[in-house]
Amino acid sequence: MSQEVFELVQGMDLKSIETQIALQCAPLISGLKVSNLLIISAEDEALVRVILRRSGISFFRLLRTGEKVTFLLFRKNPLEAYLKQQEVEAMLAEAGYAELSLGNILSTFQKRYAHYMSAGGRFPHEMGLLLGYPAEDVRGFVENEGKNFLYSGYWKVYADVEEKRRLFQKFENAKETVIQLLSYGVGIQDILDIYKDENEPKQAAV
């Protein structure tokens, strides 16, 4: 994050749901990622649902604990396409997912994640797949128990380091753009509308 944008963030209300959506989910908003986690105050849950209602971004509540709510935000078609990749399906099957529809995957993961958060035990590493991380990096993380990574950014990288570095920089650029728009007085719903138009498939001319 550039010094200019860092200073903008320092002047923002960090508790504002608009600021939190921008800081946590800019790569998803911009179409660079298929999904992101959003962790917010429980009192903001209803507002998040209103903000995202017509944004083109789907949401699924993974967990509510005390004062916090964890959502998975995602673009449905891109996430489904990613989860249908052969290596991703193989890893989900290895993790015990018998039925690989998006709804079943989310429901099963929700139960596993809630159990982990309440009782501990094995962390459900398939979260990396739900977040759209490259399959080789998720597998590398699991097989190496989080060690021996080649680079660490938005996730731990086990292959194609330079490609991932460039991607992480794009994520940072997206975050800076969304933060700057907010600082100019553009509301988060308007920002979502801008990117929704950019990310919707264009119809061919006839």
Task: Give pLDDT tens digits for 35-60.
Answer: 999 999 999 999 999 999 989 999 99
Going from N- to C-terminal start, the domains of the chain cover 3-199
pTM of the model: 0.91
Task: Give pLDDT tens digits for 58-117.
Answer: 999 999 998 999 999 999 999 999 999 999 999 999 999 999 999 999 999 999 999 999
Helix (H) or strand (E) holding 58: strand 58-65
The contacts of residue 185 (CB under 8 Å, 6+ apart) are none
Among the residues of the chain, which ranges form H helices? 3-10, 17-29, 45-52, 76-83, 86-94, 102-119, 127-130, 135-143, 161-183, 188-199
